[in-house]
Structure 1
Amino acid sequence: MASHKILVIDDSRVIQKTVKSMLPPGNFDVVEAKDGEEGLKKIRSDKPSLIMLDFLLPKKSGWEVFQEIQAHDDLRKIPLVVMSGRKEEVTEKISEPFEFFEFIEKPFEKKQLIGAIKTAMSKAKKPRAAVKAAPAAAASTAASGGEDVAALQAKVAAMEKEIATLKKQITQILTFIKQKLK
């Protein structure tokens, strides 16, 4: 019997079969869902140990499935690998660094897939604030306040760096436009 159940939510049979073929034989039971609605049903019914979620799906998008997962404490604990052929589609909705899930760009190779699964499993173990904080949870959240502040400061520093880069690019574009208008 397989020790890990992996739910692959992707409308491409090729990706579903590719994931299945890349996993070590005997260790994994792969369950497949062809759209977001079916994926959410199987998350609840099959209780997978890992979810591989395509970001572009019919019926319910990967973004909607992601939001549903994040809204429930029990589902947020399941390791998650988000897949997409274009990383920009994901970063439009979810800013980097991806703290609690792993991202893998399609097409991927076996080594990348195994690495993404391992990383997703370690990221899923990271403590995070509850969606609806109970009094006991609030006390434990306060204890980890220093870590939260440090993480936020790192995110702010990354954003400031990104803003500086964008300002530089805008200046370059304006200079180019001015030269063309002369």
Structure 2
Amino acid sequence: MAGHKILVIDDSKVIRVRVKEMLPQGNFNVIEAKDGQEGLKFISKERPNLIMLDFLLPKVTGWEVFQKIQSQSQLKKIPLVLMSGRKEEVTDKIPEPFEKHFFAFLEKPFEKKELTAAIKLAFELAKIRPSEAEAMEVPAPEPNSANVKALQAQVKKMQNEIVALKKQMAQLVKLVTVMKQKLK
């Protein structure tokens, strides 16, 4: 990964500096953006090899930057690591597994090992991301009978658990009724 330009878009100076310090020295040119608006300018101007994007940003949100990246075929090819200390904010907008959206997710706070793994995953996902033409040509997958059977087994198990929980609730209601009568 020698000579890669990494754009870190995060409103926290601490996170931007932390990313820079955790990367091997000399191998990366780290560009810092303090908000989504500045980040979008740097994406166009610098054409980074990797984008590390905080999801909760001032001015232009990480969600808006993500949508902008996804709307342009050239930008979609750039490996992306989405970062957030509040994963639920991300999953509200983008359902898991994140890999199917071709980006890595890094939960804050993070350690060097997690950062490295996320960067590697982002590069791997960018390599396998289908082009626009390929994505249009791929037919929907046929339902796999093994998957269907596995789902049916899960449904059956959940139904049995519901029955067991209903029995437990009925027992609790009886117990509460008996306790109320004893207290009178």
TM range (shorter): 0.7 to 0.9
Matched residue, 2:59: 59
Any idea what SS the aligned residue of 1:66 has?
helix
Alignment of 1:136-155 (within 5 A): 137=133, 141-142=136-137, 144-145=138-139, 149=141
Structure 2 match to 1:124: 126
1:73 aligns with 73
What displacement does 1:166 show? 9.7
Could you say if the C-alpha distance between residues 97 and 48 of structure 1 is closer, same or farther in structure 2, counting changes exceeding 3 Å? same
Work out the number of aligned pairs and report it: 163
Q: Deviations over 1:81-112 (max 9, x none)?
A: 00000211111100111120000100000010
Give the drift of 1:38: 0.5
Q: How many angstroms apart in 2 are the aligned matches of 1:48 and 1:172?
A: 53
Residue 127 of structure 1, CA deviation: 3.1
Cα distance change of structure 1 residues 74 and 88 upon mapping to structure 2, 3 Å threshold? same
User: How far did residue 129 of structure 1 move?
Assistant: 5.1
Shift of 1:172: 6.2
Measure the CA separation in 1 of the matches of 2:50 and 2:158. Answer: 36
> What is the aligned partner in structure 2 of residue 18 from structure 1?
18
1:72 Cα shift? 0.3
Corresponding residue of 2:90: 90
TM score, norm. by length of structure 2: 0.75
1:28 paired with 2:20, answer: no
Aligned to 2:181: none
CA contact under 8 A between 2:36 and 2:59: conserved in structure 1?
Answer: yes
Secondary structure of 1:125 counterpart:
helix
State the shift of 1:20 in Å.
0.2
**Relative to 1, partners in 2 of residues 1:92 and 1:166: Cα closer, same or farther, differing over 3 Å?**
farther
TM-score in terms of structure 1 length: 0.76
- The one-letter code matched in structure 2 to 1:44 is S
3-state SS of 2:128 partner:
coil
For residue 134 of structure 1, what is the aligned residue in structure 2? none
2:77·2:129 contact (CA, 8 Å) conserved in 1?
Answer: no
Structure 1 residues 18 and 63, CA gap change in structure 2 (3 angstroms): same
- Aligned-pair RMSD on alpha carbons? 3.1
Distance 1:42 1:109 in 2: 26
Cα offset, 1:128, TM superposition: 2.7
How big is the shift at 1:6?
0.2
Tell me which structure has the larger Cα radius of gyration.
Answer: 2
Output the CA distance in 1 between the equivalents of 2:49 and 2:120. 12
**Map of 1:112 onto structure 2:** 114
CA deviation profile, 1:23-62 (whole Å, cap 9, x unmatched): 0000000000001111001000000000000000000110
Pair 1:73–1:85, CA change in 2 (3 A):
same
Report how far residue 117 of structure 1 moved. 0.1
Q: Which ranges of structure 2 fall in alignment gaps of 5 or more residues?
A: 178-184
